[in-house]
Amino acid sequence: MKLQRIDGGFHTTVPCKVNLALRVNGCREDGYHELETIMLAVGLCDELEFRPDSTGEFQLQIDFSDAELLAPDDPAWDVPDDARNLVIKGIEAVARAFETNKLGRKLGGNLRLKKRIPSQAGLGGGSADGAAAIMLGAIASVGESFSWKTHFPVCQQVAASLGSDLNFFLEGRASTDTWVATCRGRGELINPIDATVNGWLVVAHPPAGCSTKEVFARLRLGKNQDHTVSNVLESLKSEQLTSLGNSLFNDLEEAASQVTPYIERVRNWFDRYDHLGQCMSGSGSARFCLCDNREQAEIIANDIRSKGVRAYAVQPWMQPSMASQLTAMWLSEP
């Protein structure tokens, strides 16, 4: 995510993610599945603003003016603005953790979320917003004394307690580079990958969502072993876009196909175009294909859009490390 100061508070732009590989390695005793996945941040972004006060109460306003509505009951924008939203959960949890441990001041305030990432898509939109809220809450609570040793681990713990994908959005590489990482455990154990992805992606999201819980419930383990996470990792490290395109896979695809026919439908549409490879993201229903240039990505996105499906031509997301962003932010004028 990218952070900046604004009048009376803070602003962050937070990307979504696609899964370049997703392996399910079995079911755990706690009911979650053990994952090994590679997540790539891409430039379809939400924005979150926070104007803090010390009331102890948080209000959330959501701006859907950039949200593309495909049907009157389009599940993509079925996003609550109350305590069910990960923005409120995240900021309340981090404020509580800091206050209880005497790490920061009492916090409340107004949050304004500009929504562009569709939900129930497997793009991590809700998790991205939740991670942004945790970071904004932490910074507002402790100000310039925010410490990577003392405060950041609390942010990581809060993120992991709220979902499997939040931690990916909290972190970033040590340079201005593609944010891509291997995520293990439930998805919350993050290991950055030293690679640059120079391609373009088309992310397509139909007017039908997939509930993550439902997709995992339909999963039959032990299939689709033709692909491996290490193939994807090697293609990334050698920066071979063609072999990256060939090695994309997602073990949840068959289960998600039982939830909505759009998974197959969009796969068939993508198959008609010239690209380097395609795959479902997360637990669906979004799919993406990889292209080596912007022109081709835009041609595919425009065509898919004409079929009544949201489609975005996007690039991998680059971001400077959080540490360097924070230093620059405190030095800048709001």
Q: In this complex, which beta carbon is closest to ligand C5P, that of residue 87 or of residue 290?
A: 87
Q: Closest approach of Cβ 226 to ligand C5P, in Å?
A: 22
With a CB cutoff of 8 Å and minimum separation 6, the contacts of 226 are 249
Q: In this complex, which beta carbon is closest to ligand C5P, that of residue 32 or of residue 77?
A: 32
Q: Binding residues for ligand C5P, how many (CB under 6 A)?
A: 11
Burial of 110-141, coded b for 16+ CB within 10 Å and e otherwise, reads bbbbbbbbbbbbbbbbbbbbbbbbbbbbbbbb
With a CB cutoff of 8 Å and minimum separation 6, the contacts of 252 are 22, 24, 215, 216, 219, 280, 282, 283, 284
Q: How many CB atoms are located within 10 Å of the residue 285 CB?
A: 31
Considering only 51, 112, 184, 186, the residue that binds ligand C5P (CB under 6 A) is: 186
Q: Classify residue 96 by burial, with Cβ atoms within 10 Å: 0-12, 13-18, 19+.
A: middle
Is 17 a binding residue for ligand C5P by CB under 6 A? The answer is no
Per-residue contact track with ligand C5P, 150 to 169, x per CB under 6 A? -------------xxx----
Considering only 122, 130, 172, 187, the residue that binds ligand C5P (CB under 6 A) is: 187
With a CB cutoff of 8 Å and minimum separation 6, the contacts of 244 are 20, 197, 199, 232, 235, 236, 276, 277, 290
Q: In this complex, which beta carbon is closest to ligand C5P, that of residue 211 or of residue 324?
A: 211
Is 121 a binding residue for ligand C5P by CB under 6 A? The answer is no
**Contact set for ligand C5P, span 30-49 (CB under 6 A):** 32-33, 35
SS3 at position 51: strand
Q: In this complex, which beta carbon is closest to ligand C5P, that of residue 171 or of residue 177?
A: 171
Which residue is listed with tokens 């996470």? 229
Q: In this complex, which beta carbon is closest to ligand C5P, that of residue 10 or of residue 249?
A: 249
Q: Closest approach of Cβ 186 to ligand C5P, in Å?
A: 4
Q: Closest approach of Cβ 127 to ligand C5P, in Å?
A: 7
Distance CA 159, CA 111 (A): 18
Q: Closest approach of Cβ 169 to ligand C5P, in Å?
A: 12
Contact stretch for ligand C5P (CB under 6 A) within 27-35, 174-182, 268-276, 301-309: 27-35
Q: Closest approach of Cβ 109 to ligand C5P, in Å?
A: 25
**Contact set for ligand C5P, span 199-258 (CB under 6 A):** 212-213, 216
Is 96 a binding residue for ligand C5P by CB under 6 A? The answer is no
Q: Where are the beta strands (DSSP E) in 150-196?
A: 177-178, 180-185, 189-192
Kind and range of the H or E run holding 268 = helix 262-271
Is 14 a binding residue for ligand C5P by CB under 6 A? The answer is no
SS3 at position 109: strand
Sign of CA dihedral 230, 294, 118, 51: positive
Q: Closest approach of Cβ 2 to ligand C5P, in Å?
A: 24
Assigned token pair, 166 = 């939040």
Binding residues for ligand C5P (CB under 6 A): 32-33, 35, 163-165, 186-187, 212-213, 216
